[in-house]
Amino acid sequence: MTFDVARVRKDFPILDRTVRNDQPLVYLDSANTSQKPRQVIEAMTDFYERHNANIHRATHELGEEATQAYEGARIKVARFIGAADESEVIFTKNVSEAINLVAYAIGNATSGRLRLGEGDEVVISEMEHHSNIVPWQLLCQRTGARLRWFGVTPDGRLDTSSADDLINERTKILAITHQSNVLGTINPVSDLAARAHAVGAVVLVDAAQSVPHGLMDVASLGADFVGFTAHKMVGPTGIGVLWGRRELLETLPPFLGGGEMIETVAMERSTYAPPPHKFEAGTMPIAQAVGLGAAIDYLTEVDLAAVRAHEHALVSRALEALGEIDGLRILGPTEPVNRGSAISFELADVHPHDVSQVLDDGGIAVRAGHHCAWPLHRALGVQSSTRASFYLYNTLDEVDALAAGIRTAQKFFRVD
């Protein structure tokens, strides 16, 4: 099946608008947040206009419809990622909350396999987004456990040479990214998960950058927890997902206490609802769940295998075009193998803020800075970088516009 990018673009109303003096928008910041198709926007509008009510608590017809819409989205998510059962799908605010949920719930464990204390180790990597670093630092500070991490190789791959030392009988948690938000690197998560399981550790995977491209089958991945977020996969902001293995979710203590997460409440103590509701305290982002469901329908309908082939063509062209620019250094893999469609780079003598400002002047939206991965930038010896990221609605012409824009920046700052 051929992928018709022109048809896809028609689904995204924002791609029609112009920016900075009536120029067409070239949106290359989807790893930051993706744009939303009309189908998602309309599903949310329809929910608010016709079905809005609170879920699980309301006994009227609207309440039934809202509950069905919300729980229907959970089923769609479960199918999309290959979960055994929809009760393994917990809705959160975003990936940060998904990871914090696990970290705080483990911190609340007073006994059993999940209890953490001095002598235990938590293993992450230098490639992580801050959201997969800081929650573990906080957990280690609270429990006395030790935080350790994988380094990165100079070419931006995970340095697994120290895996035998890092993953040992003291390891309780391995938390690692599936695909780097900066480098695009796709990590050998299944291998590492098998090692971690061999020593009895639990494994969390930050899949914020991989799930949007349909790269998730939790059954074969081998992780115990997987976090991702709707807004990077053509869905709305305000809702993320934590998938967890049923048996772990059953033993894991709650994180947030409140409405709808309980079974019984007395003044002295409470008992909790079974998962997933044990982890969904308070009124949840209902319309956002509906939007996420519509996003999954959309991605399924356009055929994700075709999308990935299209993205592969985009990133191949971009790696080639950017590689030809003097003074430009791509951070991370320069071959389109085991890498996603985000490309970060540094440009000699032009700061990323200045690069992105010149690109923006031409209507090209990219991200500049450390992309919430400060330790990774330090490890690679760069202060910050410019990142272009591609998604299903981008075109080869936009890749060429990016390369031309970078050359304009060099001319403007006279480093050509």
Partner 1 sequence: MQLESMYQEIILDHYRHPHHKGLREPFDAEVRHVNPTCGDEIKLRVALKDAGGEPAVADVSYDALGCSISQASASVLTDLVIGKPVTEAMEISAAFLQLMHDREAEPDDEVLGDAVVFAGVAKYPMRIKCALLGWMAWKDATARALGSVNGSSASKEQT
Question: Residues 176 to 195: which contact partner 1 by CB under 8 A?
Answer: none
| Residue-level length of the chain | 416
Cβ count near 22 (within 10 Å): 8
Specify the residue, 157 or 377, whose C-beta has the smaller distance to partner 1: 377
Q: Of the candidates 81, 391, 343, which has an alpha carbon nearest to the alpha carbon of residue 211?
A: 81
Q: Does 93 bind partner 1 (CB under 8 A)?
A: no
Specify the residue, 171 or 386, whose C-beta has the smaller distance to partner 1: 386
Give the shortest CB-380-to-partner 1 separation in angstroms: 12
Specify the residue, 246 or 351, whose C-beta has the smaller distance to partner 1: 351
Q: Does 240 bind partner 1 (CB under 8 A)?
A: no
Question: Residues 1 to 60: which contact partner 1 by CB under 8 A?
Answer: 20-21
Q: Using the 8-state DSSP alphabet, how is residue 293 labeled? A: H
Give the shortest CB-94-to-partner 1 separation in angstroms: 18
The single residue among 87, 308, 312, 374 that binds partner 1, judged by CB under 8 A, is: 374
The single residue among 36, 76, 339, 370 that binds partner 1, judged by CB under 8 A, is: 370
H or E element in which residue 166 lies? helix 163-166
Specify the residue, 278 or 371, whose C-beta has the smaller distance to partner 1: 371
Specify the residue, 22 or 118, whose C-beta has the smaller distance to partner 1: 22
Question: Residues 307 to 366: which contact partner 1 by CB under 8 A?
Answer: 351-354, 357-358, 361
Q: Does 369 bind partner 1 (CB under 8 A)?
A: yes
Distance CA 237, CA 234 (A): 9
Look up tokens 């934590």; give the residue.
242
Q: Which amino acid is at 13?
A: P
Specify the residue, 127 or 202, whose C-beta has the smaller distance to partner 1: 127
Specify the residue, 357 or 395, whose C-beta has the smaller distance to partner 1: 357
Q: Which two tokens stand for residue 146?
A: 């030790």
Distance CA 369, CA 389 (A): 14
Q: Does 412 bind partner 1 (CB under 8 A)?
A: yes
Specify the residue, 148 or 377, whose C-beta has the smaller distance to partner 1: 377
Cβ count near 2 (within 10 Å): 7
Q: Please check whether residue 373 is in contact with residue 182, taking contact to mean a CB–CB distance below 8 angstroms.
A: yes
H or E element in which residue 225 lies? strand 225-229
Pairing of strands 89-92, 23-24: unpaired
Give the shortest CB-412-to-partner 1 separation in angstroms: 7
Give the shortest CB-70-to-partner 1 separation in angstroms: 35
Give the shortest CB-359-to-partner 1 separation in angstroms: 11
From the number of C-beta atoms within 10 Å of its C-beta (0-12, 13-18, 19+), residue 48 rates as exposed
State whether the Cα torsion 1-5-291-184 is positive or negative. positive
The single residue among 383, 397, 400, 411 that binds partner 1, judged by CB under 8 A, is: 383
Give the shortest CB-369-to-partner 1 separation in angstroms: 4
Cα atoms found within 13 Å of the Cα of residue 61, Cβ hemisphere only: 1
The single residue among 316, 384, 396, 407 that binds partner 1, judged by CB under 8 A, is: 384
Q: Does 368 bind partner 1 (CB under 8 A)?
A: yes
Count of residues that bind partner 1 according to CB under 8 A: 18
Q: Does 405 bind partner 1 (CB under 8 A)?
A: no
Q: Please check whether residue 44 is in contact with residue 68, taking contact to mean a CB–CB distance below 8 angstroms.
A: no
Single out the segment in contact with partner 1 by CB under 8 A; choices: 11-19, 157-165, 244-252, 369-377. 369-377
Which are the contacts of 202, defined by CB distance < 8 A and separation ≥ 6? 113, 114, 172, 173, 174, 196, 224, 225, 248
Positions annotated as catalytic residues are: 372
Look up tokens 């400002």; give the residue.
357
Q: Does 377 bind partner 1 (CB under 8 A)?
A: yes
Give the shortest CB-361-to-partner 1 separation in angstroms: 5
Q: Does 411 bind partner 1 (CB under 8 A)?
A: no
Pairing of strands 364-365, 26-27: parallel
What are the φ and ψ backbone dihedral angles of 250, each rounded to 5 degrees?
-70, -35
Q: Please check whether residue 201 is in contact with residue 171, taking contact to mean a CB–CB distance below 8 angstroms.
A: yes
Give the shortest CB-370-to-partner 1 separation in angstroms: 5
Instruction: Give the footprint of partner 1 on this chain (CB under 8 A).
Output: 20-21, 351-354, 357-358, 361, 368-370, 374, 377, 383-384, 412-413
